[in-house]
Structure 1
Amino acid sequence: MAWAYFMEEDTMDVQRWISIYENGIYLEIQITESGDVRLVHLSSFPANEDARGTEEERRTRRIVELQATGEDRDDHHGSKYTGTMPGGMLKYECHRDFYNESGRKIEVDMEDRGMRVTVHYQFYKDISVIRAWTEIVNQSLNSIPLEYVSSFTMTGISSGGNGSWEAKSRLHIAHNAWHGELQWRSYTLSELGLTKVNDYSIKRLSYSNSGTWSSADLQPMGGYENTAAGMAMCWQIEHNGSWHWEVSDKANGQLYLQLSGPTENESHWWTNVAPGETFISVPAAIAIVKGGFEQGIVELTRYRREIRRWNEDNERLPVIFNDYMNCLFADPTTEKILPLVDAAAAAGCEYYCIDAGWYADGEWWSDVGLWQPSERLPARNPPLE
């Protein structure tokens, strides 16, 4: 753990800093004399005075955003999840810097009126990725009605390199559709409608999914690239349900990124944390690399392979033949299947998968979800021997 103390010229407050370097990632957290906690720098490049920003800029670099029902916000935000309350009232309590079986871990505890909030940053050995999530413990006598909790938030993602964020920023979006999966597209922010119109705007670039089909329209992923600095961030929100992420600008021309699970506005999510209860947000993984988007995806892929649970099939890697696409299209019969089984075995396949249709006596789509084996007439579909 590295600490630094220095005197701010414009405030004359003693500022404390948590500064670390791990797996190619530089992280700096500022704790003000009044207890505000700010994520000032998170990059593949070390911080300098420009990256750290002015005191005015750092005031908006919260380490977490948290909105409770009935609380106001402290900025002119439009639909953005900035200036949230009681997120803006949290005060530093303590932090921990230690190593576990995955790698280094930073935990920062904050508190407001009996609500204890912990921001978790998990590093992974030799991989330029952090996994982030937020934990809320209600130690008060009152319930906490939550509408939004960030899993990860960072302001200042466009720091570094020459030029405006309009000129040097690219956003990578993973469009998705049935039969058209993982269609990555790259845009300038102005192509998506976000331009620098004033000190800041109330417009945001917002991407969400509602429901248990977490990749129905978009993959829960994205990427931001600062082409002038030669730095990229790629992320995935690790949830099989609703999720949300957004990019926009804040005061003094700073870009921010926020990742979360479900939200009240986008997916009608709401939870009431009773006294003594704990809420843990959806985790998100963020790759932070030198280079571009492809380098970020490489690190994210390395991370996925690292966290995947051990399974004997993953070690053996058996060859599987699936009879749906470009083959039976969910109309399996014994007559059709037996020649395919022989051909697949001759080609070296170890498993034969009857993909769909085995549960339907008629049109297979109307019976999706029943998952009961079909009992077709033996004359049409005699049992396999």
Structure 2
Amino acid sequence: MTKELLSQYTLNDMIVQYWIDPSSHQVGLLLVPANLAAKVDTDKEYVIDPLIQVKLVGDDYPGGFAQGRTMRNSQSVKDFRYEKQYVIEDEQSSRIITVLRNEKNLVMEHMLSYCTGFEACEVNTTIINKGIGEVHLEMLSSFSLGGITPFEKGDTPFTLMIHRLRSKWSNEGRLDTRSAEDLQLEPSWSRHGVHSERFGQVGSLPVRGFFPFVAIEDTKRNVIWAVQLAHSGSWQMEIYRQDDALSVSGGLADREFGHWDMILRPNEELTSPSAYLTVVEGDIDRATQRLTSMHGKSLTQLPKVEEDLPIIFNEYFTTMGVPSHENILLLSNKLKGKGITYLVIDAGWYAEEGKGWEDNIGDWNISPELFPQGLEAATQDIRKCGMIPGIWFELETCAPSAEAYSWTEHLLQRDGIPINSGKRRFWNFMDPFVIEYLSDKVIAFLRKYGFGYLKIDYNETIGIGCDGFESLGEGLRQQLTAFQAFLQKIRDELPELVIENCSSGGHRLEPSMMGLTSLASFSDAHEELEIPIIAANLHRAILPRQSQIWAVLRKEDSKKRLIYSMVNTFLGRVCLTGEIYDLDKEQWNVVDEGINFYRRISAIIKEGLSYRYGPVINSYRHPEGWQAMLRVRSDQLEALVVFHTFGGHLPEQIDVQVSIDKKYEIEAIYAEDHKDITLHEGVLSYKIKGDFHAAAVLLRSIQANTHIADHNQI
């Protein structure tokens, strides 16, 4: 267990340490908060966790009862030796490249990148075949982080907690926290058997079961290591234990977990998906927001119209899948002057007589019955009323009533049979015909009719993969790479187009898809009581400025319900829909007030940090308790507090400590009764009137410094 410090780098408030075993030439990676570097116990007994986890077909599998549970630490890993390390720097970034090589002249480059001013780093792995023969891969990690926890000798019982974000349709981002002991991640008495908690997702819905995220917390030192993967296909994470230190790795789902293997021919290379890594003294909210801040690097090229986080109106819950020129004209005039920027025509515009719209996806012919004057007349009406027209596509799939559904030579297959998933088949994006077809049906269409907003939906999964490559998993990886290239083609040809990432709501809320789009549908919990719970969860996974939240307005809605719906959207981006023709003047006053309030808080949503207060919410469908979200703008000049009450036993009053020394004063309130809210000596109080109420408060700074109180976790 001999190890030596190979190198060390300071990145903002983090220190990156590379440790090497002089006998095996294995290199490991350790991250620590800079002000705790002196507390690292260099005598802690553990085997260095290799920097890269890889497995080649034909090499020995790992021992310790591991096969079938993990492919980590196989003979392939042991055969790679440290060769060199070098750093590439410029004014804005640093890249630390560590090179490993085996006797077959297979080279692995581990690159850790850091951009000035950020609180996390990006890691990926490139494997290059510089030999003379083919290499058959069946595992490759993006990252591997070991030595946890480095601040104490031994196996540190009752110290390590594992945080994950569970997810399913309309129930996204639930925090799952368990001890290492609960997950049987204690070493055995002899240190022989190994255990890996391997989890992830298989298919083309990357946020299904879990988000591609994990965090490990040292509760004694109040330190959290957190990681997020940027990948839209099958992925895995592994928390691994054999000795006194815990390790965590992740990347492409391997052959055992994700049906993936591939052949690397001479002079070919493969780069893994990126992983974002951070370490911080603090809680889970602080750690996750350090990761999501990395998403901001991809948002510098967004259309200018997105700068002030404008409001969307999506007509789906107004027309219920039957948009027409007539009702779009009525909508446009009704919404004129309401502060709406985008009016989106959702599913149904292509419905053909006798086919409907749900089963007619793929041909994309404008319905002559619904739009007898064509779509150009409808988009002109929208623009005349001061809004940007938007349109819905589910462009990756075909449905049974569409002619395209029968074009099997252009669709994905498994075992030579078209993949049927529910009522969906999938285009083959490796096929030039498909690219040409969709370039005409989507890109040329958007340009011809002057659409400025594209909602891309995706309502099924390809599953384990498709034919055409060495493995089904490699087929899936290639397909999703090709689709993202087509998405980039749309961006390149229509740079001012705003693109919404939707996948039955929130099934694609991962960094690679978020980086190619302006915003995303947060969930399909369209008008459910749990909306604010899910919306708050997602502050840990995506940027609130990209989280589009539904407010479905109904004619029977009371003032209480309308405020609840509007306040939900203040946890992200406002997306309105519903029975707006039938709202009376009093109801519209409530909505208009909410729109005006959102305009005042959009800068806080765009740039800031979030803190959650309140008890754990156990049932989302039948929520009990309350929550408050405090979001402080990056420059600390303003803050927003969003209150929600649910069912069950409630306190008489909710108190949120927003500061000390009277830093803030109340600037504006959006609530049923402003008298319910008071601010005294840095404590904002909300007098509860009953269940399922909501309120929002804008605070303005009156002093220079800020202080965020301790708070409960979700």
TM-score normalised by the chain length of structure 1: 0.86
Counterpart in 1 of 2:621? Answer: none
Counterpart in 2 of 1:228? Answer: 220
Structure 2 residue 234 is the aligned partner of structure 1 residue 245: no
Distance 2:365 2:217 in 1: 48
**Is the CA contact (8 Å cut-off) linking 2:314 and 2:345 kept in structure 1?**
yes
Query: Please, which of 44, 48, 55 is the counterpart of residue 67 of structure 1?
Result: 55
- Listed as ranges, the matches of 1:111-126 within 5 Å are 111-113=101-103, 114-126=105-117
Distance 2:267 2:122 in 1: 26
Distance 1:330 1:200 in 2: 60
Distance 1:181 1:369 in 2: 28
Counterpart in 2 of 1:375? Answer: 368
Cα distance 1:365–1:234, how it changes in 2: closer, same or farther (>3 A)? farther
**Is the CA contact (8 Å cut-off) linking 2:160 and 2:218 kept in structure 1?**
yes
Q: Deviations over 1:259-283 (max 9, x none)?
A: 1123111111111110111111111
Query: Please, which of 71, 75, 85 is the counterpart of residue 85 of structure 1?
Result: 75
Cα distance 1:350–1:47, how it changes in 2: closer, same or farther (>3 A)? closer
**Is the CA contact (8 Å cut-off) linking 2:155 and 2:245 kept in structure 1?**
no
**Is the CA contact (8 Å cut-off) linking 1:224 and 1:293 kept in structure 2?**
no
Query: Please, which of 203, 210, 214 is the counterpart of residue 195 of structure 2?
Result: 203
Counterpart in 2 of 1:99? Answer: 89
SS, match of residue 342 in structure 1: helix
Structure 2 residue 98 is the aligned partner of structure 1 residue 108: yes
Q: Deviations over 1:232-286 (max 9, x none)?
A: 1222111111111011312x23211011123111111111110111111111111
Counterpart in 1 of 2:291? Answer: 300
SS, match of residue 367 in structure 1: coil
Counterpart in 1 of 2:627? Answer: none
Cα distance 1:348–1:88, how it changes in 2: closer, same or farther (>3 A)? same
Counterpart in 2 of 1:355? Answer: 346
| Shift of residue 49, structure 1, vs aligned partner | 7.7
SS, match of residue 132 in structure 2: coil
| Gap regions ≥5 residues in structure 1 | 1-9
Counterpart in 1 of 2:27? Answer: 38
**Is the CA contact (8 Å cut-off) linking 2:234 and 2:253 kept in structure 1?**
yes
Counterpart in 2 of 1:143? Answer: 134
**Is the CA contact (8 Å cut-off) linking 1:200 and 1:253 kept in structure 2?**
no
Cα distance 1:328–1:300, how it changes in 2: closer, same or farther (>3 A)? farther
SS, match of residue 60 in structure 1: coil
- Could you say which structure has the higher helix fraction? 2
Distance 1:162 1:345 in 2: 66
Counterpart in 2 of 1:158? Answer: 149
Identity %: 21
Counterpart in 1 of 2:545? Answer: none
**Is the CA contact (8 Å cut-off) linking 1:93 and 1:109 kept in structure 2?**
yes
Structure 2 residue 333 is the aligned partner of structure 1 residue 322: no
| Shift of residue 134, structure 1, vs aligned partner | 0.7
The worse-fitting range, judged by mean Cα deviation, of 262-271 and 331-340 is: 331-340
SS, match of residue 340 in structure 2: coil
Structure 2 residue 39 is the aligned partner of structure 1 residue 52: no
| Shift of residue 310, structure 1, vs aligned partner | 1.4
Distance 2:160 2:217 in 1: 6
Cα distance 1:348–1:40, how it changes in 2: closer, same or farther (>3 A)? closer
Structure 2 residue 357 is the aligned partner of structure 1 residue 364: yes
SS, match of residue 78 in structure 2: helix
| Shift of residue 109, structure 1, vs aligned partner | 0.8
| Shift of residue 157, structure 1, vs aligned partner | 2.2
Q: Deviations over 1:34-85 (max 9, x none)?
A: 461322531115445853345x62x332111110001003542342232123
Give the number of the structure with larger relative contact order, counting CA–CA contacts within 8 Å between residues 6 or more apart: 1
Distance 1:370 1:309 in 2: 34
Distance 1:64 1:205 in 2: 18
Distance 1:369 1:291 in 2: 48
**Is the CA contact (8 Å cut-off) linking 2:251 and 2:272 kept in structure 1?**
yes
Amino acid at match of 1:289: V
**Is the CA contact (8 Å cut-off) linking 2:162 and 2:180 kept in structure 1?**
yes
Counterpart in 2 of 1:7? Answer: none
Q: Deviations over 1:274-325 (max 9, x none)?
A: 011111111111121111111111211221113434122433543321223x
**Is the CA contact (8 Å cut-off) linking 1:320 and 1:353 kept in structure 2?**
yes
| Shift of residue 377, structure 1, vs aligned partner | 6.0
Cα distance 1:145–1:16, how it changes in 2: closer, same or farther (>3 A)? same
Cα distance 1:370–1:165, how it changes in 2: closer, same or farther (>3 A)? farther
| Shift of residue 328, structure 1, vs aligned partner | 3.4
The worse-fitting range, judged by mean Cα deviation, of 225-234 and 370-379 is: 370-379
TM-score normalised by the chain length of structure 2: 0.48
Cα RMSD (Å) of the superposition? 2.9
**Is the CA contact (8 Å cut-off) linking 1:161 and 1:229 kept in structure 2?**
no
| Shift of residue 163, structure 1, vs aligned partner | 8.7
Query: Please, which of 122, 135, 151 is the counterpart of residue 131 of structure 1?
Result: 122
Q: Deviations over 1:75-128 (max 9, x none)?
A: 423422321232211112211123146422110111112011111101121222
Distance 2:272 2:367 in 1: 41
Cα distance 1:148–1:363, how it changes in 2: closer, same or farther (>3 A)? same
Distance 2:225 2:37 in 1: 16
| Shift of residue 337, structure 1, vs aligned partner | 3.1
The worse-fitting range, judged by mean Cα deviation, of 353-362 and 294-303 is: 353-362
SS, match of residue 86 in structure 1: helix
**Is the CA contact (8 Å cut-off) linking 2:21 and 2:48 kept in structure 1?**
no
Distance 2:55 2:332 in 1: 56
Q: Deviations over 1:311-370 (max 9, x none)?
A: 22433543321223x443433233433333233333211220012222223443223444
Cα distance 1:372–1:200, how it changes in 2: closer, same or farther (>3 A)? farther
Query: Please, which of 206, 209, 214 is the counterpart of residue 214 of structure 1?
Result: 206
SS, match of residue 172 in structure 2: coil
| Gap regions ≥5 residues in structure 2 | 382-714
Structure 2 residue 12 is the aligned partner of structure 1 residue 19: no
SS, match of residue 41 in structure 2: helix
Distance 1:336 1:189 in 2: 57
**Is the CA contact (8 Å cut-off) linking 2:5 and 2:17 kept in structure 1?**
no
